[in-house]
Amino acid sequence: MQNHTVTIKNQVIMFMDIHNFSIAAVILGVNQYAFLQQVYETLGDMIVAHEGEILKYLGDGLLCVFPADLASEAVECAMKLRQAFDGLAREKNFPADTELEIGISAGEVAIGVFGHKSLRQKDVFGNQVNRAAVIGHHRERLRRGQDALRNRPTARFREQVAG
């Protein structure tokens, strides 16, 4: 096993996922893959323009990080990402509930290169990553004022991201 260099540092974590993509996939058929590529490119350009770094694609999801001092930039980016996705979804006549869910969390994480020797890649681990993923999927609860995580660092982003 290769030695791993892991860095512990504060980062802003953004996780996003297309809500109800399975319905969109049925509508698109084999064109779903071209649509996903269009989403990756459109959203990726915006993330990079806001000084974020894309770490991985997860089917119709995406994980990225921003420097800790750019939390406001990450929130602004998230709002623009949702608008951009809404435009792409409207072009394809997706049902109204097909939307981009985004969760943002900030705090200490572990960053390093991990994986099997055939595929090593930069990744991020820690409670903040888990929180960002959960927040995106609990947006409706957060809109109603229920803090799914009882977490103060994520709570300050709640209103801005929930849209």
6-162 fold? Alpha-Beta Plaits (3.30.70)
For residue 136, what pLDDT is reported? Answer: 62
Compute the average pLDDT of residues 70-84: 96
Q: What is the pLDDT of residues 107-144, one digit of tens each?
A: 999 999 999 999 999 999 999 998 898 876 555 544 54
Residue 11: which of 58, 56, 74 has the closest Cα? 74
- Domain ranges for the chain, please list them: 6-162
Q: Which residue has the higher pLDDT, 9 or 135?
A: 9
Q: What is the pLDDT of residues 23-63, one digit of tens each?
A: 999 999 999 999 999 999 999 999 999 999 999 999 999 99
Give the confidence band of 91 by pLDDT, cuts at 50, 70, 90: very high
Structure tokens at 42: 């459109």
| Burial (Cβ within 10 Å: 0-12, 13-18, ≥19) of residue 44 | middle
Please give the Cα distance from 125 to 108 (Å, whole number): 9
Q: Global pTM?
A: 0.81
Q: Distance of alpha carbon 142 from its chain centroid, rounded? A: 17
Q: What angle do CA 30, 36, 37 make, to 5 degrees?
A: 105
